[in-house]
Amino acid sequence: MEGTIQCNANYVPLTPISFLERSAIVYSNKVSIIYNDVTYTWSQTHQRCIKLASSISQLGVSPHHVVAVLAPNIPAMYELHFGVPMSGAVLCTLNTRHDSSMVSLLLKHSDAKILFVDHELLDIAKGALEILSKSTAKLPLLVLILEGDAHPSVSPGTLIYENLISEGKLDFEVKRPKDEWDPISLNYTSGTTSSPKGVVYSHRGAYLNSLATILLNEMKSMPVYLWCVPMFHCNGWCLPWGIAAQGGANVCQRNVTAKGIFDNIFKHKVTHTGGAPTVLNSLINAPPDIRKPLPRKVVVMTGGAPPPPDVFFRMEELGFDLVHSYGLTETYGPGSICTWKPEWSSLSREEQAKKKSRQGVQHIGLEGLDIKDPVTMKSVPADAKTMGEVMFRGNTVMNGYLKDLKATQESFKGGWFRTGDLGVKHSDGYIELKDRSKDIIISGGENISTIELEGVIYSHPAVVEAAVVGRPDEYWGETPCAFVKLKEGHNATEEEIIQFCQKRLPRFMAPKTVVFADLPKTSTGKTQKYVLKEKAKAMGSLSKKKNTSRL
């Protein structure tokens, strides 16, 4: 409009780097990181990150180069979330469960210039570099993150993390993005359904999703956040940046165990944490000497996989306040929130849990979350029945897949980001996920939502975990096959589980096969259904072997 100008005074590229700079002033002597007997303040964290950025630049890394890290949730992992972007480079956090050959593939794909590695994962990194050396002469520099008395043998030229910090220059001029669309990080997807894809995040998206995540978690100033979500997964749902914005204390843990979580909650007066449903399951089912009632409410954000309705009220019985979010690596982690409505508080326990287990609506950083027919792009009716593809639109959707323009274009076809998830829309506008399109079971022409069926099996008192896949069938096409893990000291038969489901669901949805087994998981807490599908396939068709009258 007339009289306005866009200039440096009123238009600055958004970046989460500014959160750290502000916290170094507001919360300078307040705790930023706690890890075993190490504690830092926000002023120290700020200084360490500047020095880290300075050393990374000194090593010849230029803006937009990729810097990779293979480490659990330790202080260095947190600092790299700022130090790398402050050098202008792009942070690529690698899954700590990958083997050397996968790490070498991702290092090559991302063209990483440096690999920071935790001392416990050094052998994986060495193996990856050895594989890489067979196809390229340009290997990333290795920087070792040591802890305590660990002194593993390293090849000449390996750098040490703490040396980079101490040698870095405090007067280094932080490289802020020229454009807020500039990349801040590269996250590979979990690889649950295919090979991991390299998802590029921008400074703008990271800034907005951090703010949205603070709001989702209802975080006030100076929260105490216990790290259970791996920071390598969607940059810890953007919370390394979000906690900095609120001047919170980051309680880091190398390993995630139920005992560690309860101990840390008591010791550090934790206010917030987060984790995939499998982490919550480990808390609910922990032995009574570990599972203590909480001294005060702890907000837990869950997502990453479908949480069975039962998890909600069992967690709440322990004193946790559950926030349910849904999203993908492509949406910077959390993209939706099942916002609670006060009128639901008078519903029965079961109905409340059902409401909460829905995936909800987009968070405030996004413009749209809809269920659409993927061909016509028309929204499905809000009748809780008609299934369509879940689609997102807005500023916290990825820039694209690295070096895969075709996949990027396909995922954005029609002006929405296509998730590959199937869901329905309820009359109140909230969405509910029914399945991944690759997982839904089609039996005799009927769609069977594996998520819904798993939720019912999970509510059986003897069950600790359940996953359902389609078992190929000559007559029905597929029949539901449930893999069930029982609680320690509990028993149940195949027939009991089947009858339990038949009482609660339409008959065609009940499993026709039940296998008692441990469930294979990815490091981000998702069940590796492709492994179970192989097992179900190997069983052969049920119709041929059994009398189909039960079907």
Ligand X SMILES: Nc1ncnc2c1ncn2[C@@H]1O[C@H](COP(=O)(O)OP(=O)(O)OP(=O)(O)O)[C@@H](O)[C@H]1O
In angstroms, the CA 239 to CA 224 distance is: 12
- The nearer residue to ligand X, 180 or 421, going by C-beta atoms, is 421
Instruction: Name the helix (H) or strand (E) containing 482.
Output: strand 477-486
Q: Which of 125, 138, 135, 22 is nearest to 68 (CA)?
A: 125
Q: Which of 72, 230, 275, 303 touches ligand X by CB under 6 A?
A: 303
Q: Is 326 in the site for ligand X (CB under 6 A)?
A: yes
Q: Which residues is 466 bridged to in the sheet? A: 484
State which of positions 17-36 bind ligand X (CB under 6 A).
Answer: none
Q: Is 306 in the site for ligand X (CB under 6 A)?
A: yes
- The nearer residue to ligand X, 305 or 456, going by C-beta atoms, is 305
In angstroms, the CA 324 to CA 308 distance is: 11
- H helices of 137-202, in order, are 161-167
Q: How far is the CB of 285 from ligand X (least distance, A)?
A: 20
Place of tokens 């005060």: 296
Q: Which of 413, 310, 392 is nearest to 353 (CA)?
A: 310
- The nearer residue to ligand X, 513 or 524, going by C-beta atoms, is 524
Q: Is 523 in the site for ligand X (CB under 6 A)?
A: no
Q: How far is the CB of 492 from ligand X (least distance, A)?
A: 25
Q: How far is the CB of 303 from ligand X (least distance, A)?
A: 4
- The nearer residue to ligand X, 79 or 454, going by C-beta atoms, is 454
Helix 42-58 and helix 75-86, axial crossing angle in degrees, nearest 10:
60
Q: What angle do CA 116, 120, 121 make, to 5 degrees?
A: 55
Task: Pick the piece of the chain touching ligand X (CB under 6 A) from 13-21, 326-334, 402-410, 422-430.
Answer: 326-334
Q: Is 359 in the site for ligand X (CB under 6 A)?
A: yes
Q: Which of 264, 271, 411, 419 touches ligand X by CB under 6 A?
A: 419
Q: Which residues is 183 bridged to in the sheet? A: 202
- The nearer residue to ligand X, 236 or 327, going by C-beta atoms, is 327
Q: Which of 519, 528, 526 is nearest to 233 (CA)?
A: 526
314 phi/psi in degrees, rounded to 5: -70, -35
- The nearer residue to ligand X, 96 or 359, going by C-beta atoms, is 359
Q: How many CA atoms lie within 13 A of 473 on its CB side?
A: 24
**Tokens found for residue 475:** 């007559």
Q: How many residues of this chain interact with ligand X, rule: CB under 6 A? A: 23
Q: Which residue is nearest to ligand X (CB)?
A: 192
In angstroms, the CA 467 to CA 455 distance is: 9
Q: Which of 133, 194, 221, 409 touches ligand X by CB under 6 A?
A: 194
Q: What angle do CA 395, 396, 401 make, to 5 degrees?
A: 105
CB 209 within 8 A of CB 334: yes
Q: How far is the CB of 513 from ligand X (least distance, A)?
A: 23
CB 265 within 8 A of CB 319: no
In angstroms, the CA 294 to CA 439 distance is: 37
CA 426 to chain centre: 25
Q: How far is the CB of 197 from ligand X (least distance, A)?
A: 6
Q: How far is the CB of 295 from ligand X (least distance, A)?
A: 28
Q: Which of 436, 460, 471, 529 touches ligand X by CB under 6 A?
A: 436
- The nearer residue to ligand X, 69 or 492, going by C-beta atoms, is 69
- The nearer residue to ligand X, 145 or 337, going by C-beta atoms, is 337
**Radius of gyration of the chain from Cα atoms?**
24
Q: Which of 329, 396, 479, 513 touches ligand X by CB under 6 A?
A: 329
Q: Which of 526, 529, 536, 542 touches ligand X by CB under 6 A?
A: 526
What's the chain's length in residues? Answer: 551
Task: Pick the piece of the chain touching ligand X (CB under 6 A) from 257-265, 285-293, 320-328, 481-489.
Answer: 320-328
Task: Pick the piece of the chain touching ligand X (CB under 6 A) from 4-12, 158-166, 183-191, 534-542.
Answer: 183-191
Q: How far is the CB of 126 from ligand X (least distance, A)?
A: 26
Residues that bind ligand X (CB under 6 A): 189-194, 196-197, 303-306, 326-329, 359, 419, 421, 433, 436, 524, 526
